[in-house]
Amino acid sequence: MGRPIMIQGTMSDAGKSFIAAALCRIFRQDGYSVAPFKSQNMALNSFITPDGSEIGRAQAMQAEAAGIDPSPLMNPILLKPTTDTGSQVIVNGQVRGNMRAAEYFRRKKELVPDIMKAYDTLASQYDIIVIEGAGSPVELNLKSDDIVNMGLAEMVKSPVLLVGDIDRGGVFAQLIGTLHLLEPHERDMIKGLVVNRFRGDISLFDEGISILRKLSGKPVAGVIPYLECSLEDEDSLSSKLSKSDVTGLIDIAVIKLPKISNFTDFDVFSQYSDVSVRYVSDAARLGRPDLIIVPGTKSTIADMKWLKSTGLDEKIKSLASKGTLVFGICGGYQILGKSISDPFGSEGGGSTDGLGLLEGETVFGIEKCQRRTQGCFTCGGTFAFLDGASFSGYEIHMGTTRDSGTPLTDCGGSYSGSVAGCYIHGIFDSADVSGRLIRHLFERRGLTYSGTSTDRREFREKQFDLLADHVRRSLDMDLIYRIIREGI
């Protein structure tokens, strides 16, 4: 059976996902077979595995770092918030239904057999299992039924590394306070502390290491300097969603819908020099971008109504009428169409008009579409520059769209004038597609793009190696391997 090591954080966005990915790549480099695991994930960024299962995007990213195909075994429970008090519950990659938070918390212990079956199957196949916790392990009102932090660590008998984020301040309170609030037997399972995102001269923290050792009685496994790494963020806490300023020659504006999902679709554009990607939730800040993207959403009707309430709907339509390129992905594609209705209450029920920029009429059903997709663009007119470009990606959506418009690709979507949309997440990841689009945006400004086009998948491989080298230099890997060997 494979040996586990668990990464827990003192708070959300302490860096657990990236450290887990780094360890997956390091262990792979050192000759071990390794798999990621997160028992319960709450995120709107998700991924479709080769068998058509839906899991959190972070675990798919970590599997890529480990050099293996993502599997529903790596994330047996995924919660996708549909409202402030409810989520779609996905178990073993398939929709179990919508639940209010109170109902889910009453019933989540029923999912322990699913969690343990998934974990045990992985542990029988790999040498090391890198487990990621969620949020903080000392949310005291939730601890009694915990299945993702210390509760899971006890179930699978995993040693734990506790990560604090010094960049956000209060790292001593974060780490020592968390340890203080744990039960004694839980505290014993913490085998090392990690200080993440240190800026400046790291030698200035030597005294800090001594203080942490003295107050905690735990070894400090490492201090990891801050690193700008272009890999997928897990959820809406991502700092990229707060970027709203134009700094490049080309301005790409992504509409920051309240229930925005899979915004990692647009990370590829960060690879291109002189291109800015900003997230906009205010009509006054939209300006005159070169490209407007309406992204995916978990609550299409509610977010369409929000667009109307903010005035962004009229702003988008006005810019489209003047020739600004507009592209919708998944829920964004539905929003660009004529109408959206949810007769079965799949995402809350109701109906609304769309922006009417495309011919699509969307009706939500009971079944969810989850599939990998590959194809090519088959378009002319304003989007002729994409004709023949190939792509691969995946679809995740409840609705079915009847679209009588001009086909955009050989597997769906449409375009009209300067507006286009489709269901395919990851459609921009290929160098052919993103490169053609960026070059076209430069040409529309009378400029020539002189940089190169990079396939997103090849770029991520380099980022994994960069991240692994950075973390390996910062952690005491002899200690890490000893912790894994000795367990709890």
What Å distances lie between residue 193 and 236, 335, 467, 477, CA to CA?
26, 46, 19, 13
pTM of the model: 0.90
At 434-448, the pLDDT tens digits run 999 999 999 999 999
* pLDDT for residue 242 is more than 70: no
Q: Token pair for residue 104? A: 């889910």
By annotation, the residues acting in catalysis are: 330, 425
d(Cα 270, Cα 218) in Å, to the nearest integer? 39
pLDDT higher at 108 or 474 = 474
Does domain 250-446 match CATH 3.90.1150.10?
no
Please report the pLDDT score of residue 241 as a whole number.
64
Q: What distance separates the 2 farthest-apart alpha carbons in the chain?
A: 69
pLDDT higher at 61 or 349 = 61
What Å distances lie between residue 447 and 269, 389, 437, 440, 450, CA to CA?
17, 22, 13, 9, 9
* pLDDT for residue 233 is more than 70: no
State mean pLDDT over 273-289. Answer: 95
Please report the pLDDT score of residue 59 as a whole number.
96
State mean pLDDT over 34-39. Answer: 98
Q: Which residues pair with 335 in a beta bridge?
A: none
Please report the pLDDT score of residue 349 as a whole number.
85
- Give the number of C-alpha atoms closer than 13 A to the C-alpha of residue 260, restricted to the C-beta side: 25
At 61-94, the pLDDT tens digits run 999 999 999 999 999 999 998 877 789 999 999 9
Please report the pLDDT score of residue 12 as a whole number.
92
Please report the pLDDT score of residue 1 as a whole number.
86
Please report the pLDDT score of residue 244 as a whole number.
59
Poorest-pLDDT segment among 181-195, 233-247, 249-263, 387-401: 233-247
Burial 318-333 (b: 16+ CB within 10 A, else e): ebbeeebbbbbbbbbb
* Confidence bin at 347 (pLDDT 50/70/90): confident
**Fold type of domain 3-231+462-486:** Rossmann fold (3.40.50)
Please report the pLDDT score of residue 101 as a whole number.
87
Domain borders along the chain are 3-231+462-486, 250-446
d(Cα 264, Cα 250) in Å, to the nearest integer? 19
At 182-232, the pLDDT tens digits run 999 999 999 999 999 999 999 999 999 999 999 999 999 999 999 987 777
pLDDT above 70: percentage of residues in the chain: 97
Please report the pLDDT score of residue 29 as a whole number.
98
d(Cα 269, Cα 280) in Å, to the nearest integer? 16
Whole-number average pLDDT of the chain: 94
At 418-439, the pLDDT tens digits run 999 999 999 999 999 999 999 9
Please report the pLDDT score of residue 86 as a whole number.
84
* Confidence bin at 348 (pLDDT 50/70/90): confident
State mean pLDDT over 450-472. Answer: 91
Please report the pLDDT score of residue 238 as a whole number.
54
